[in-house]
């Protein structure tokens, strides 16, 4: 697959092989074969019909994280104990932890989500696994096994990519958690 044919996994975001981890383990033809395998592994999410962010039906919750593929609600404001607007970390109730567990194993190329506030899409991102060798230049929620009760919205995996904007500081998110009494500065 050439550069011009590269598919977007999440609207506006691209998957990037994180080859430095792999180069330490293998070299030469084995490295090229492994790298090609990583690129092919990213194809299922990249080719998934995610649809436009605003196509999902509005729901009753003030804040929600929905799967891009289906619009299913994963985390609602009722599943969140607190949200820290500085660190972008949310502490989950046990119901939220259970809902994350219900996602099952997160593929190495991520599972797309959309953050919604009052029925409007704010930004997209992906649930990600720490075992992935594929980089991602969007917002990620790293899902550890066992699932932890605190999740942090991080910008990029394995770190921030240069030249990408940061959508996490949207005032609507802080406003919702402030009105619910769940905002931590």
Query: What is the spatial distance between Cα 95 and Cα 105, in angstroms, rounded to a whole number?
Result: 18
More confident residue, 26 or 121: 121
Backbone angles phi, psi at 57, to 5 degrees: -65, 140
Give this prediction's pTM.
0.69
Answer whether residue 46 shows pLDDT above 50.
no
pLDDT at 44 (0 to 100): 35
Q: How many angstroms from the chain centroid is the CA of residue 37?
A: 22
Number of domains in the chain: 1
Range of the domain at 94: 3-184
Beta strand 73-76 pairing with 80-84? unpaired
pLDDT bin (cut points 50, 70, 90) of residue 178 is: very high
56 contacts 114 by C-beta, under 8 angstroms: yes
- Could you tell me which residues come within 8 angstroms of residue 171 by beta carbon, excluding any fewer than 6 positions away? none
pLDDT bin (cut points 50, 70, 90) of residue 91 is: very high
Answer whether residue 42 shows pLDDT above 80.
no
Mean pLDDT on 170-175: 96
158 contacts 135 by C-beta, under 8 angstroms: yes
Apex CA 143: angle with CA 138 and CA 149, to 5°?
120
pLDDT at 26 (0 to 100): 39
Backbone dihedral region for residue 163 (phi beyond 0: left; psi -120 to 50: alpha; all else: beta)? left
Neighbours of 180 (CB within 10 A): 15
């Amino acid at each position: 697959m050439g550069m011009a044919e590269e598919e977007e996994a999440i609207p506006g975001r691209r998957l990037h092989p994180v080859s430095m981890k792999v180069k330490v383990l293998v070299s030469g033809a084995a490295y090229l074969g492994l790298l090609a395998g990583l690129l092919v592994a990213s194809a299922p999410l990249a080719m998934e019909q995610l649809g436009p962010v605003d196509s999902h039906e509005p729901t009753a919750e003030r804040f929600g994280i929905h799967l891009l593929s289906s619009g299913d609600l994963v985390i609602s404001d009722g599943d969140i104990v607190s949200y820290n607007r500085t660190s972008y970390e949310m502490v989950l109730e046990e119901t939220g932890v259970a809902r994350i567990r219900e996602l099952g194993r997160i593929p190495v190329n991520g599972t797309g989500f959309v953050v919604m506030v009052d029925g409007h899409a704010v930004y997209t991102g992906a649930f990600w696994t720490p075992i992935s060798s594929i980089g991602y230049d969007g917002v990620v929620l790293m899902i550890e096994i066992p699932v932890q009760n605190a999740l942090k919205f991080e910008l990029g995996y394995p770190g921030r990519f240069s030249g990408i904007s940061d959508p996490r500081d949207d005032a609507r998110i802080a406003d919702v958690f402030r009105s619910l009494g769940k905002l931590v500065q």
